[in-house]
Amino acid sequence: MSGPQFERVALIGIGLIGSSLARVLRRNKLAREIVACARREQTLDKVRALALADRVTADPAEAVKGADLVVISTPLSAYADIGRRISPALEPGAIVTDVGSVKEAVIRDLKPSLPQNVHLVPGHPVAGTEHSGPEAGFAELFHDRWCILTPLPDGDAAALARVTALWEAAGMKVVTMDAAHHDKVLAITSHLPHLIAYTIVGTATDIEDRRLPRLHAHRCLRSGDVARRVPQQPRGGVGDAAALHRGPDRAAARHPLGRRRQARGPLHPHPRHPPLDHRGEAGLSPAR
């Protein structure tokens, strides 16, 4: 495709994933203009310093004005509010996509707010590192990784094709599947394993809190050592996913391999460890 694929791209959220996509857009000249949106002025200052966007704003509605593509890469819990705020400012024919890991929740929270003439194409680029923030991004993050798109049954085919082309330009292998199937796959391959891992860290922290010096002699039981064995991920996801993804996660937990983690009770990370986001590789069985 010659020339930019998009006239103006609005990036709502400019952490690891959003800033990496901004770098891809710059490198491949995929957009004539990039607008970045973040809540904190400190984050916007970093975006300016790194020249990741042509304009920055803390107002999502301002960011999406005139944009033909909007990419939401905030924590899932913010989607409903963002949808309400951007809806009046969206251009007719604009495409709204995202990077969240629980697609049924994305559709539930975004679709009711969007005008009929705006196209929602939910997406999940399955990639990441242990770092976060705009300074952590890099254009090669997505290379040779999977991107899962979960188009709506009545979705626009041309919009799906444009979002597919975007992620393919980033170097990703793109598959499509329905949102429910995606969430079941990710519950088994991503969310449940991470919740189990953080439960182990929490248990080790509990042991440490009880000050059992004999156990402290064994390095493998210290929470710090266990934590280093757990893939650290950007903020905002596993806790969000657990809250928004209870059905698939609990179905996975009922499987014999998942039953043991139920001993801790509700699907929440340990209080001493903040919610973390999964952006690593996952086993995929594409259902087109």
70-125 per-position pLDDT tens digit: 999 999 999 999 999 999 999 999 999 999 999 999 999 999 999 999 999 999 99
227-265 per-position pLDDT tens digit: 444 444 444 455 555 555 555 545 444 444 444 444 444
pTM of the model: 0.72
pLDDT of res. 3: 81
pLDDT band at residue 186 using 50, 70 and 90 as cut-offs: confident
CATH, range 6-179: 3.40.50.720
62 pLDDT more than 80? yes
- DSSP characters over the chain: --S-SEEEEEEE--SHHHHHHHHHHHHTT-EEEEEEE-S-HHHHHHHHHHT--SEEES-HHHHHTT-SEEEE-S-GGGHHHHHHHHGGGPPTT-EEEE--S-HHHHHHHHGGGS-TTSEEE-EEEE---S--SGGG--GGGGTT-EEEE---TT--HHHHHHHHHHHHHTT-EEEE--HHHHHHHHIIIIIHHHHHHHHHHHHHHHHHHTT-HHHHTSGGGSHHHHHHHS----BSSHHHHHHH-HHHHHHHHHSGGGGGGGGG-SS---TTS--B---S--------
pLDDT of res. 240: 58
| Domain assignments of the chain as residue spans, ordered by start | 6-179, 181-264
pLDDT band at residue 61 using 50, 70 and 90 as cut-offs: very high
Burial label, 178 (beta-carbon count in 10 A; 0-12, 13-18, 19+): middle
pLDDT of res. 187: 76
